[in-house]
Structure 1
Amino acid sequence: MVQVGESTVMAETFDHYAAVTDTQDREGRVWRNKLERVIMEMLDFYRIEQGFEDLARQVARTACHKLVKDMFYEARKQAIVDFHAARNVRIKRDDAVTMTLMKEEYLEAIPWWMATHRECWEVLVDRWCAEDWVDRHEACRQRRLMMQGASHHQGSLSLSEYAARYASHHGVGEINTFKAFALSHKGKYKADIQYNPEDPPEAYSNPSAYDRLSSYSEVAKEVYGQDYDPRSHDLDGEVVMRAGKGKKHGRYWLGDSVIDMASTPTLSQIRARSVSGGPSIRERPTATQPLQAQLEEERARREHLEATLAQQVQEQVQAQVQVQLQAQTQEMFSYFQAQFAAIGHPLQAPLPMWAPRPPISSPPMPGSAGSNAGAGAGVGAGDVDLSAARNLFPQEPPPFDP
């Protein structure tokens, strides 16, 4: 537990180690804080080549940031494995990710490295047993499973080690970090792969690598001119900061392990010296944006399909209604045909289609202008002569034969 401001919190990030004052060890060494002690004690196990001291500290600090976060993530899985192992039940660590324990069960499985700080373990257990923690944990897990491809093909190698092994295996000269980053997202160093800026996103193990390389190349040309070729240079810290809008969660957007933090300006420094019309500072796309685009595309496709199906259903319903109307008309005609045949006046079958009825105007009312027209006056423009239709109707009803 560390004191941050007026509150006491658990040291769950590596930056919290800087808030604890260091004490003298057996060898009489004292550093400014625990953060520096962790880095320097870790470097005691390595022999650093002269001139690479600053880079070694940078690499160690970057590694510690991730290790501290992973330490608490792995602690929960190990607690689940240990709890079941004490009851002679073997649980794999991969299976423990989807399992949970009760609070009392977590407290029984405290790891050895936290046994002297039980209050910290209780804080962790309370967090894991919170109502919304399981939902958030599962949501993050599902989001990781939806990743479109492998993040890279470096394995446990750093980007510099990957570049050295690629050059040695293929018998080529030293390659810069820009090419190494691109190749590490295409395949392993033994694979027959080459970097080509014209390659589509499908050439990379993850489409996000293509987006990062494209954005970096565009910003690099804004900073150094359109004739600048990123393939001929190492990754530039300022360009990375501009392309990824600074560091997110303590990491650069690309080439995090090879960017020199000491010589790379901060985002506030870059903004302070930026002018209107100069190189841009771009928004870093989030991991969910490609998924959102896919969801929008899927939603549009589903809506189009639903509209098409609705139209087809409507057409089918209209066709069924038309068939029913025709059937009812035929049934009605058959009924009247039988009735008229019984009285000796058979009806002819109706035509399949009837022409539209012509407009028929009514005769003029008595006293109107049309009725007072003189002899020899022409028929009105809107009138129709109905005298030819009078012979269609008999003057007397047909005789009834009982």
Structure 2
Amino acid sequence: MLSERRWDAIVAIVATVIALGVLFLFAPPTPSRTAVSLAALVLFVAGYAVVGRAAVEPPRAAWRYPAFLSVAAVAVGIGVGAAPFMAMLQTLAYPLVWVIGDSRRRGIGGSAVIAGSVFVGVIIGNGADADSVVAGATTAVFSLAFAIAIGLWIARIAEYGEERERLLSELTAAQGQVEALSRERGASAERERLARDIHDTLAQTLAGLVIFAERAGRQSREGQTDAAAATIATVEQVARDALAEARALVARTAAVPREPAFAAAVERLVERFRAQGHAAIELDTADAAGELDRETQVVLLRCLQEALSNAAKHAAADRVQVRVRVDAAGGAALEVADDGRGFEPASPGAGFGLDGMRERVALAGGTFEVDSTAGRGTSLRVHLPTARQDAVDDVSGGAP
């Protein structure tokens, strides 16, 4: 809908045009009629300025509509009776009645009142003969029909605009809720990622520190000075590794060793577990000469770290076999097998171990398999596809 200022401009322009037409183009036969028609025009403009203008935009006081309708009907009737050209005042009266009435019922009723005033004005100006009645009725009926048709059309457009505004507000609110849920989900995913990283890095390293510290204390109490010193040196090195891992986590980067070759990173991790002395670890990296992206390295190293930790702490294994393969295209596979006590994979576990590995591998688009039987050891296999193959799979899966 138009604002008050725009209606001010419209009323001023149309009133000026009507006044000029009455004075210079379609002047009434007598000066008195000219004065009456101009007075009617002034009455209409004053009625708009004093009563109608404040009701153009909501909120609208209930009394303003009938008050303005009365002033407009009187002004139109008197003006048309004084000068036929004053019928042009309908171009202002009808739209303002619909705008200020603010409903179909009031718009139609107000239009009928204005049409009736036009009919009365024609009768007053031309006399109550048959020709005047026919002319007045014809003018009133046609103007009323046109006003109602245009008014209903404009009202429908206004309702459509309001409906669109309401839907837009609802959509904006819904988008805000979706954004909030997305932030919450992202925060939850970030918390889970941090939990996995802490479990796979700091928690594992601190557990190793506890084991080495206990060994050093036992060696010291037994008088094994050299062995205790060597263990303390290992504790120092592991503590430095823990510090590096903590800094990596703070920087939101994975705590991957900084060797340029992936095989060297695997050997370093295996050597750390060998130093704990729980099990003999056989490592095969002959087929791990290919280059891997950083994310794939993170997944494989975390899975290897968790598998070795489980073999040492839970399986009580004496022997662990580790095999890492990297193909030229960037795909990788990890196999870890131990001769420990084993477990039932179907039984629910407590902790992040297997579930964390399975989730990490799934997020990387790989496969994770565990084969274990109570008393017969455990075999763990991880396979990660190349980044190119991952993209092809996504496209193929989304094709119809």
Tell me if both proteins adopt one fold, taking TM over 0.5 as the criterion: no
- Which protein has the bigger strand share? 2
Structure with larger RCO (C-alpha < 8 A, sep 6+): 2
Instruction: Answer with 1 or 2: which has the greater Rg.
Output: 2
Q: What is the TM-score when the length of structure 1 is the normalising length?
A: 0.30
Higher helix share: 2
